[in-house]
Amino acid sequence: MVNSIPSIDLADFISGDAVRKAAFVNALGEAYENIGFVAVRSHGLSDALSAQLYAGVKEFFNLPDEVKHKYEVKELAGQRGYTSFGREHAKGRTEGDLKEFWHFGQEVEGDDVVKDEYPTNIYCDELPAFNKTGIAAYKALENAGKNMLRAIAIFLGLDEFYFDEKIKNGNSILRPIHYSPIIDDPRNAVRAAEHEDINLITLLMGASAEGLEVLNKKNEWVAVTALPEQIVVNVGDMLQRLTNNRLKSTTHRVVNPPKEKWHESRYSIPFFLHPRSEMRLDCLPECVDANHPKVYTDISAGEYLDERLVELGLKK
């Protein structure tokens, strides 16, 4: 257990053993119906690659502000490159979160027409290793996410490969985040206000410090820390919407540290797994019945993403 978050081993799912695979699916489904978060081992992201990326992330955020700002293109609504401190806020809030971040996006494979939809990745000229390890981690987490979605599909009574074509060359984002030291009284601002993620699922590499909390069914905030060799994977709003609330998009936040630790930075690297823009998020018939009437209007993933970017203050 990771602070009340169930722990499962992805090796069970891909083992070829039907019993182990079924046990994984059941444990995953139960966790997602109850709290929406799970800790995952054997995810395919090596400790070495993770360490290299964190080293590069710290190097980037230690660059002078004038260098970092070269990579901020506000017309991209924060979807590629650098987003400066305090620009993003949680839905329903006006205070900017106490963070700055970078986005690596999809490197489209083949002649897929979706390539024209996405902004080109922005790369940091000063730190070529940061770019290389960022894309390598992106691919490793994207593959882990594909297997997680296959297990979710089975749990929902869908074909195991239901999500495969919907996420191929999907609009996913790898987001290295820097929560900088707190210099002055933050008043109402926090490192990341309570929110739910937009996407299908989020795969979170271990953060450099405590601070992540999730809201449980008893309306209590529970601290979550990824143990060594584990990532934390949670349900996002798109999957909650698709499943008509059967799978829960859990509210979570990153709280400010105790005052004696205000001088410390915090780093975190979530991978937001998004589908292709044309994927329909209309509630699955398998998740709608007399006891669970349809609660969401029909919408595509691209339309929903645009709505949420406006709510977050990143897009006009």
Burial tier of 116 (Cβ tally within 10 Å: 0-12, 13-18, 19+): exposed
| List of the chain residues with pLDDT < 50 | 1-3, 89-90, 93, 208
Give pLDDT tens digits for 232-273. 899 999 999 999 999 988 888 877 666 766 667 888 899 999
Q: In sequence order, what DSSP letters do the residues of 289-307 get, joined into one string? A: BTTB---S---BHHHHHHH
Which run of H or E residues covers position 131?
helix 128-155
- In our burial notation (b when 16+ CB lie closer than 10 A, e otherwise), range 75-101 reads ebbbbbbbbbbebbbbeebeebbbbbb
> What is the distance of C-alpha 264 from the center of its chain?
23
Give pLDDT tens digits for 168-191. 999 999 999 998 776 666 555 555
Rounded Cα gap, residues 282 and 170, in angstroms: 18
Rounded Cα gap, residues 100 and 120, in angstroms: 20
Specify the pLDDT at position 118.
Answer: 92
The answer to whether 96 and 89 have CB atoms below 8 angstroms apart is: yes
Specify the pLDDT at position 93.
Answer: 47
Angle between helices 47-61 and 128-155 (to 10 degrees): 130
User: Closest by alpha carbon to 202, among 233, 171, 178?
Assistant: 233
User: Closest by alpha carbon to 98, among 192, 207, 185?
Assistant: 192
The reported pTM is 0.89
Specify the pLDDT at position 154.
Answer: 98
Rounded Cα gap, residues 41 and 22, in angstroms: 17
Specify the pLDDT at position 223.
Answer: 81
Specify the pLDDT at position 1.
Answer: 35
Q: Class for domain 43-311, per CATH? A: mainly beta
The answer to whether 52 and 129 have CB atoms below 8 angstroms apart is: yes
The answer to whether 102 and 176 have CB atoms below 8 angstroms apart is: yes
